[in-house]
Structure 1
Amino acid sequence: MKLIKKVDALKFRSGKINEIKEDVVSDNPITLVINGKRVSTFSAIKDSLKEFSIGYLLGENIIKSLEEIEDIDIDENIINIKLINDYKIEDKQLCSDAAGGLREKVKSADNIESNLKISSEELVKNMELLTSKAKIWKLTGGTHVAALVYNNKIILREDVSRHVAVDKVIGAGALEEVDFNQSYIIYSGRMPADMVIKLNRVGIPIIASNAAPAYSGYLVVKESNMTMIGFLRGENFNVYGNYERIAFN
């Protein structure tokens, strides 16, 4: 499956028109089915779909551990997940994914206790790394990129959806048995409540982005003892929430 497609386009520059072939990201409708019940359909890249499935289940409070998953079968654009326990969508009143339409039902977030501390130098370096490693974004400009950073290691994924990109790195981290409490997310999207709560549910204490926070995300950060870094551009950034987790060089 090619992740990038060539399309015909007209390029208008400095008053001149040229016919060109343009690279665009290849997104697809991906349907998630849990215990035979359709949950939602997402626009996503057909890459790292197992990791996406696991990250979605954890971040949406559907499971607490990998042991609750009996099987994940990916058939073209359909992901069939079999959970050990029965899954009833009406029982999951705290789903945060905006695409699922249940964002308004998010009520609260758990308090996160973590002794993780990162330096301003590390934040700047990893944002630069995020940009340099975003292969599809550099070719098309059509993806978000997310990374899970832990123990001087980094897991990076891209997708057209910021939620799916983050789900993918959470899922990959779960498969690697990462201690989420000693990790952080750095990515290229806004930070409203639905994104912050996704991280909160797996115990990740820090989220950093080159984009802006939203007030709803800020409220979750303050309520749950998390740390949010916004406008991470060059050597500049803002810190919201628990400031003590950042060591300023």
Structure 2
Amino acid sequence: MIHSMSGRRAIVRFSDGRLQEAEDEIVKEFPLTIYVNGEEFATMVCTPAQLEEMVVGFLASEGVILFKRDIKSLEIDESRGFAYVELTKQIDTSPLAYSKRFIGSCCGKSRQFYFQHDVKTAKTSMADIHLTPSQCVELMKSMQAESVLFKGTGGVHNAALCSAGEIIAVRTDIGRHNALDKLYGYCLLNDIAIRSKILVFSGRISSEVLTKAAKIGVGIVLSKSAPTDLAIELAEDLNITAVGFVRGSSFNVYSHPERIIEEKER
């Protein structure tokens, strides 16, 4: 059973001073329950596309796997909403193993709240990559131009993995974390080196989004929205360049501005 990502629905629209019958495109929500080694691990509510990528990216983000070779088999049963993953190793699938919060230090600099697995899987970026202002603006425009589902529904987040000059992959989901997991899974399944890549994102840069970007391993995050203060602190600690409000021909650089260089310097 193949699910489309959206559907048409009869609605009543108020426009031009009057109520009238109309149709609207509505994005779909799809619950997917993941079983790992026969044990229920998590249920995700997502947009029903690139589910294999999402599962792989999610498990990598959670620290369950490091490489695609850690997965012995992966089966998606879309008709029932299940994903069955068999690993080449045994893991502790108890809730406490992946949800216990504690206060730790990030690179020895600042005290933050983390999930236990975040500390194990978030990476300090070693990316040696630079962007000019025009490249930042063009990458955002390119991602938005490919955001077909958002244009139709207005109800999804978009994320793109890019090199300095072009978009490599765009993923869409109702959940911002899911969109990032799909990109992460895409990279793992296709053996794509991430160190020199850029993440372009449609939503705000929260601490959770920044942590997810660190787990993926990118050095620059571009967003058309705002960052939070904790996200900026984490970006400073993790050596990630956070760029927000990329709109039109302007943007703000909130951390590690040395990666954004003037055109004449290239």
Global fold match (TM > 0.5): yes
Partner of 1:126: 139
Question: Is the CA contact (8 Å cut-off) linking 1:55 and 1:168 kept in structure 2?
Answer: yes
Q: Distance in 2 between matches of 1:164 and 1:199?
A: 12
Q: Distance in 1 between matches of 2:235 and 2:88?
A: 33
* Match status 1:79 vs 2:83: yes
Give the count of matched residue pairs: 242
Map 1:97-136; keep pairs closer than 5 Å.
Answer: 104-105=114-115, 108=119, 109-136=122-149
| Shift in CA distance, 60/15, structure 1 to aligned 2, threshold 3 Å | same
Partner of 2:181: 167
Structure 1 regions of 5+ residues with no counterpart?
96-102
* Match status 1:66 vs 2:53: no
How many angstroms does 1:94 deviate by? Answer: 7.3
Partner of 2:56: 54
Question: Is the CA contact (8 Å cut-off) linking 2:223 and 2:246 kept in structure 1?
Answer: yes
* Match status 1:240 vs 2:254: yes
How many angstroms does 1:104 deviate by? Answer: 5.0
SS at match of 2:4: coil
| Shift in CA distance, 92/26, structure 1 to aligned 2, threshold 3 Å | closer
| Shift in CA distance, 35/168, structure 1 to aligned 2, threshold 3 Å | same
Q: Distance in 2 between matches of 1:248 and 1:60?
A: 37
How many angstroms does 1:45 deviate by? Answer: 1.3
Deviates more, 1:20-29 or 1:110-119: 110-119
TM-score (norm 2): 0.85
Aligned partner letter, 2:91:
Y
Q: Deviations over 1:101-154 (max 9, x none)?
A: xx8535754422121112211111111111111111111111111100136342
Partner of 1:208: 222
Q: Distance in 1 between matches of 2:230 and 2:24?
A: 37
Q: Distance in 2 between matches of 1:183 and 1:88?
A: 32
SS at match of 1:10: strand
Q: Distance in 1 between matches of 2:8 and 2:233?
A: 43
How many angstroms does 1:92 deviate by? Answer: 3.7
Q: Distance in 2 between matches of 1:201 and 1:28?
A: 25
Aligned partner letter, 2:84:
N
Partner of 1:184: 198
Partner of 1:98: none
Aligned partner letter, 2:125:
I
Match among 29, 45, 49 for residue 43 of structure 1:
45
Runs of 4+ more than 6 Å apart: none
Question: Is the CA contact (8 Å cut-off) linking 1:61 and 1:201 kept in structure 2?
Answer: no
Question: Is the CA contact (8 Å cut-off) linking 1:44 and 1:164 kept in structure 2?
Answer: yes
Question: Is the CA contact (8 Å cut-off) linking 1:60 and 1:198 kept in structure 2?
Answer: no
Among the aligned pairs, what percent are the same residue? Answer: 26
SS at match of 1:118: coil
Q: Deviations over 1:142-198 (max 9, x none)?
A: 111110013634200111111101111111122222211111110111212211111
| Shift in CA distance, 26/131, structure 1 to aligned 2, threshold 3 Å | same
Structure 2 regions of 5+ residues with no counterpart?
102-112
Partner of 1:222: 236
Question: Is the CA contact (8 Å cut-off) linking 2:142 and 2:167 kept in structure 1?
Answer: no
| Shift in CA distance, 247/176, structure 1 to aligned 2, threshold 3 Å | farther
SS at match of 1:181: coil
Question: Is the CA contact (8 Å cut-off) linking 1:230 and 1:239 kept in structure 2?
Answer: yes
Q: Distance in 1 between matches of 2:230 and 2:39?
A: 31
SS at match of 1:179: coil
Q: Distance in 1 between matches of 2:29 and 2:99?
A: 29
Larger radius of gyration: 2
Q: Distance in 2 between matches of 1:155 and 1:110?
A: 22
Q: Deviations over 1:212-246 (max 9, x none)?
A: 10112111111111111111111111112211111
Question: Is the CA contact (8 Å cut-off) linking 1:148 and 1:173 kept in structure 2?
Answer: no
Q: Distance in 1 between matches of 2:50 and 2:75?
A: 13
